[in-house]
Amino acid sequence: MNTVISVEELRHTISTWRNNAERIAFVPTMGNLHNGHLALIDAAKKQADRTVASIFVNPLQFGEGEDFETYPRTLDEDSSQLASRGVDLLFAPPVEVMYPQAQQLQTRVEVPDVSHILDGEFRPGFFVGVATVVCKLFNMVQPDLAVFGEKDFQQLYIIRRMVEDLQMPIEIVASPTVREPDGLAMSSRNNYLDAQQRQSAPLIHRALQQVADAIKRGEANYTQLESEAAATLEHAGFVVDYFTVRNVNTLNPAKAGESNLVILTAARLGQTRLIDNIIISQ
Ligand code: PAF
């Protein structure tokens, strides 16, 4: 696997593949890779001749008081995992390459409305930071397809909207959430949990599953299901930002009788914020 840090080197390698009409897949990450990321790589490799991964801890998507400084940076271990998984090229730019101007002067990409609900409400500026960096990375790599995890459901939704609105010729592929044996969705931030929090953390998935089962049985009082699930989590020590049943296509609050739903939650255990979701297609 070749590792590059400049846009020139990146474009040079990719242009040789393009000249051979090779199909290029891209997996953007912030590093500190786990099996969830490796599943994205596997999905990418299945659909392309060449796979590019990026590792960049994007300052633009971290709010004040969030964990930008302490976010785990594990480039050496990440590189060996990517190489053994068969990635062709790793792009690992420093901040000055991604943001040559002062960050406050950076042109931003905003997908309106949906960027300000759910996680966007609790993490102001987060999705503008994500859309901006992903748009820049897409312009640099110019992949045929890019793979994102369903665990970050709202992020996936926003990236799809950005690609559609900006008419980017890139196929967005969704990859299912990878879970620990006890159901906890894999996330780099799980490492922040202490032993007791780690024991409680899978409750988040269980609460989602219980609501999904209730909806599948025909229960349609979503408000009640949401508040009962949130209360269960709060009782177990979580601080719940939201627990909500939404229409999968619009992310609007679901109405009784709608059939394609997603149940989304974000909840904090101590300083660690966990998100998860379940998609229900009936
Ligand atoms: O999901 C992530 O790891 C990040 O939000 C992404 C898509 C790599 C953008 O920084």
* Domain extents in the chain: 2-175, 188-276
Pocket mutation for ligand 1, best pick of 152, 154, 159, 178 (most atoms within 8 Å of C-beta) = 152
Nearest to 92 by CA among 129, 141, 19: 141
pLDDT value at position 257? 86
- pLDDT band for 149, please (50, 70, 90 cuts): very high
Indicate if the pLDDT at residue 194 is higher than 80. yes
pLDDT of 236-256, one tens digit each? 999 999 999 999 999 999 998
Residue nearest to atom 6 of ligand 1 (CA): 29
d(CA 117, CA 167) in angstroms, rounded, equals: 24
pLDDT value at position 7? 98
CATH superfamily of domain region 188-276: Pantoate-beta-alanine ligase, C-terminal domain (3.30.1300.10)
pLDDT more than 70, % of the chain: 100
Query: What are 232's two structure tokens?
Result: 């269960």
pLDDT value at position 281? 85
Indicate if the pLDDT at residue 177 is higher than 90. yes
Q: How far is CA 250 from CA 84, 99, 161, in A?
A: 39, 32, 11
- By annotation, the residues acting in catalysis are 37
pLDDT value at position 174? 98
pLDDT value at position 259? 87
pLDDT value at position 214? 97
Indicate if the pLDDT at residue 180 is higher than 80. yes
- Average pLDDT value for the chain: 97
Residue nearest to atom 2 of ligand 1 (CA): 29
Which atom of ligand 1 approaches the CA of 130 most closely?
A: 9
Indicate if the pLDDT at residue 282 is higher than 90. no
Indicate if the pLDDT at residue 100 is higher than 90. yes
Pocket of ligand 1 (CB under 6 A): 28-30, 58, 61, 130, 133-134, 152, 155
Which atom of ligand 1 approaches the CA of 188 most closely?
A: 3
* Mean pLDDT (whole number) for 97-105: 93
CATH superfamily of domain region 2-175: HUPs (3.40.50.620)
d(CA 54, CA 31) in angstroms, rounded, equals: 8
Query: What are 6's two structure tokens?
Result: 């400049």
Domains 2-175 and 188-276 share a fold: no
